[in-house]
């Protein structure tokens, strides 16, 4: 067994794993959990893809392993809160109940080490405006290039048929713009909800787009996903929030020795300062 070198954090925020669907990047998440432990873990929705489970069962060993890894941290004393998402909304029936030490709820308030208070919510409750444009958020350059090519083909075809010119590419451009607007609209509406809840920020998932941003006095934090981007958010012991991108399976590293010298120097400096002040 390799030495235990998981990094300790105050809080982990994980969402949109979609266990039960083929798209779930379970191996990367298992490895992330192997390297990151915390006092508190928030599962910010869509951890299990209930919709897919009903259509087609896809539950390989790796998906079990993710659940086991999370339960293991619970046994070791981590406080775990499972916020329901739209894909695991069956959990919304069980609000306020506990499963093996895991608390199930629809929304929670998290107080960070720096005193900042965050609304933790999946976020699907607020995306009605933009649901239909959602897939476009993933339209990349290649899709755009293809659209440009298709545009030429369509234009030639329409000319042959004597139809007026219609630009597919400008249509695509408008759609991509809508997708960007979609992310913006989602951020606006969640930031507004945080303001209404009288907290300092919101921590959500749902749109598979990790972010730490400030909108005026409100912080907007999105945990990303484990379907495409393999991202989570960690809270350090000083309350600092950080996005961790973990798209790989890493070997466990050797334990790093404690930095003795700088600590000693700091203590001496501190003592000198006290002497000066006295």
Kindly list the residues in this chain that would bind Mn ion in the complex (CB under 5 A).
46, 85-86, 124, 206
- To Mn ion, the closest distance from the beta carbon of 105 in angstroms equals 16
Report the alpha-carbon distance of residue 109 to residue 193 in Å, rounded. Answer: 13
Crossing angle for the helix pair 141-160 and 168-196, nearest 10 degrees?
140
Report the residue number, 37 or 124, with the smaller CB distance to Mn ion.
Answer: 124
Handedness of CA 86, 244, 117, 181 (dihedral sign): negative
Report the residue number, 31 or 46, with the smaller CB distance to Mn ion.
Answer: 46
Residue nearest to Mn ion (CB): 206
**Is residue 191 helix, strand or coil?**
helix
- To Mn ion, the closest distance from the beta carbon of 136 in angstroms equals 16
- To Mn ion, the closest distance from the beta carbon of 127 in angstroms equals 8
Report the residue number, 86 or 178, with the smaller CB distance to Mn ion.
Answer: 86
Looking up tokens 């393999």 gives: 230
Report the residue number, 36 or 206, with the smaller CB distance to Mn ion.
Answer: 206
- To Mn ion, the closest distance from the beta carbon of 85 in angstroms equals 4
Residues 6+ apart with CB under 8 A from 201: 116, 117, 118, 119, 194, 218, 219, 220, 221
Handedness of CA 36, 42, 44, 50 (dihedral sign): positive
- To Mn ion, the closest distance from the beta carbon of 144 in angstroms equals 25
Report the residue number, 84 or 172, with the smaller CB distance to Mn ion.
Answer: 84
Crossing angle for the helix pair 26-35 and 61-75, nearest 10 degrees?
20
Q: Across the strands, what pairs with 79?
A: 40
- To Mn ion, the closest distance from the beta carbon of 106 in angstroms equals 13
Report the residue number, 86 or 229, with the smaller CB distance to Mn ion.
Answer: 86
Alpha helices, DSSP H, located in 94-160: 141-160
Report the alpha-carbon distance of residue 83 to residue 63 in Å, rounded. Answer: 19
- To Mn ion, the closest distance from the beta carbon of 44 in angstroms equals 9
Report the alpha-carbon distance of residue 240 to residue 257 in Å, rounded. Answer: 24
- Output phi, psi for 83, to 5 deg: -90, 130
Report the residue number, 119 or 172, with the smaller CB distance to Mn ion.
Answer: 119
Contact 36, 5 (CB under 8 A): no
Report the residue number, 201 or 205, with the smaller CB distance to Mn ion.
Answer: 205
- To Mn ion, the closest distance from the beta carbon of 43 in angstroms equals 12
Q: Going by DSSP bridges, is the β-strand pair 36-43/79-83 parallel, antiparallel, or unpaired? A: parallel
């Amino acid at each position: 067994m390799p030495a235990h070198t998981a990094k300790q954090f105050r809080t982990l925020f994980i969402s949109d794993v979609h266990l039960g669907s083929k798209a779930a990047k379970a191996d990367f998440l298992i490895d992330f959990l192997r390297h990151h432990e915390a006092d508190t873990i928030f599962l910010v929705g869509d951890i299990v893809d209930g919709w897919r489970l009903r259509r087609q069962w896809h539950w390989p060993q790796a998906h079990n392993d993710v659940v086991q890894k999370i339960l293991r941290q619970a046994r070791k004393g981590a406080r775990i809160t499972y916020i329901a998402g739209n894909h695991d909304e069956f959990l919304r029936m069980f609000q306020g109940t506990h499963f093996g030490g895991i608390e199930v709820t629809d929304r929670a308030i998290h107080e960070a080490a720096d005193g900042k208070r965050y609304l933790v919510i999946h976020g699907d409750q607020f995306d009605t405006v933009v649901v239909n444009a959602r897939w476009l958020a993933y339209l990349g350059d290649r899709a755009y290039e293809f659209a440009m090519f298709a545009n030429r083909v369509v234009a030639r075809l329409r000319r042959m048929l004597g139809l007026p010119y219609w630009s597919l590419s400008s249509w695509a451009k408008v759609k991509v713009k809508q997708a960007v607007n979609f992310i913006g609209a989602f951020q606006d509406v969640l930031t507004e909800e945080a303001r209404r809840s009288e907290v300092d920020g919101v921590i959500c998932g749902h749109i598979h787009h990790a972010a730490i941003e400030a909108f005026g006095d409100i912080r907007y934090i999105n945990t990303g996903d484990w379907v495409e981007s393999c991202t989570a958010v960690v809270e350090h012991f000083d309350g600092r929030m950080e996005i961790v991108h973990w798209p790989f399976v890493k070997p466990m590293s050797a334990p790093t020795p404690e930095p003795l010298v700088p600590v000693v120097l700091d203590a001496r400096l501190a003592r000198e300062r006290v002497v000066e002040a006295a």
